[in-house]
Structure 1
Amino acid sequence: MEEAPTEASLKRTSLGLDENVEGLLAYLLWWVSGIILLLLEKESDLVRFHAMQSTIIFLPLWIAIKIFSYIPLLGWIIADLLGLIGLIVWIVGMVKAYQGERYKFPIAGDLAEQWLGKVEV
């Protein structure tokens, strides 16, 4: 198991937080915190990557959960399964970001890398 970065290896972000803490915050409120940090963070590529990945994963997931929750029985089951998947991805994303790792989830990680260069706010 990988340990959190040491005090000497931590970089500060443009918002004045440690890079790993701000990366964790990118996942905290699902896509909402991802968008907020995409707008606010100007320097840290690690934080911007996690913020973009959080937005790419959780916005469509949140929309799908909302849609399926209106469909009786089968839709509710699918919404619950998507919620469980979201919980697992949320925890893994926060842990990896806190460890200072640029962890890429399948598909979303590649999209986050591609779109990050194109999104300048």
Structure 2
Amino acid sequence: MDFAPYQSEEPSASRPGQGGSGGYTPPPFPASSSTASPPPPMYSASPNAYAGGSSSAYGPPAEEQQNPVNQYETSIPLRLDYESIIVYAALPPVGSVALLIFETKNDYIRFHAWQASLLFTPLFILFIILSFSTVLSYLILAVYIVFALYMAYRAYRDSSSLERLELPVIGRLASDWVDSE
């Protein structure tokens, strides 16, 4: 039987250890030596962290090994998605100002904290000014709660991809402030 047209002899005749016994004997494995080093560990600070290329297939470039940047790391020992909820749901604008003070590492949280501060501070002042009217104060409170719940939901949902929901004027201003820090 001719399995490969470029071979001149049968495949069984070219296999090592195949003689008249009809069985295949695999080649022996080399003995492990104590001087062999294990392969370097895989390193990934965050998804797509090394899209720009690296000098090694196993890790970041040498200048990034000392200070790897993790976009999901926070100063406060809370998960990123929980902090993004706190920005909008913890007594805005008090919670957002507190996170502006205590969160120094994560730009995603700082963006949402600036945006929440710029959104809810005028609403809070307007609520205090219009507190003489029951109808207007409840209307402002309803807008306040709806904005807080929606923005907290969107910040939580988008925290896995770090996508920012920018409000028309306030969001652009908050983004500029975070980028200039």
Band of TM-score, shorter chain:
0.7 to 0.9
Structure 1, 13-22 or 28-37: larger mean CA deviation: 13-22
Q: What is the match of residue 154 of structure 2? A: 96
Q: Which amino acid is 2:77 matched to?
A: G
**Percent sequence identity over matched residues?**
31
- SS of the aligned residue for 1:69 comes to helix
Are 1:22 and 2:80 matched, yes or no? no
| TM-score where L is the length of structure 2 | 0.54
Q: What is the match of residue 61 of structure 1? A: 123
Q: CA deviation at 1:110?
A: 1.5
Q: Which amino acid is 2:168 matched to?
A: P
Q: What is the match of residue 106 of structure 2? A: 44
Kept in 1, the 8 Å contact 2:86–2:95? The answer is yes
Is the alpha carbon distance of 1:107 and 1:78 closer, same or farther for their aligned partners in structure 2, counting shifts above 3 Å? farther
How many residues align? The count is 108
Cα displacement string for residues 6-33 of structure 1 (whole angstroms, at most 9, x for unaligned residues): xx97923111211111111111221001
Give ranges in structure 2 of 5+ residues lacking alignment: 1-45, 48-70
RMSD: 2.0
Q: Select the structure with the greater relative contact order (CA < 8 A; seq sep ≥ 6).
A: 1
| TM-score where L is the length of structure 1 | 0.78
Give ranges in structure 1 of 5+ residues lacking alignment: 1-7
Paired with 1:77 and 1:91, the residues of 2 have a C-alpha distance of: 21
Kept in 1, the 8 Å contact 2:73–2:105? The answer is no
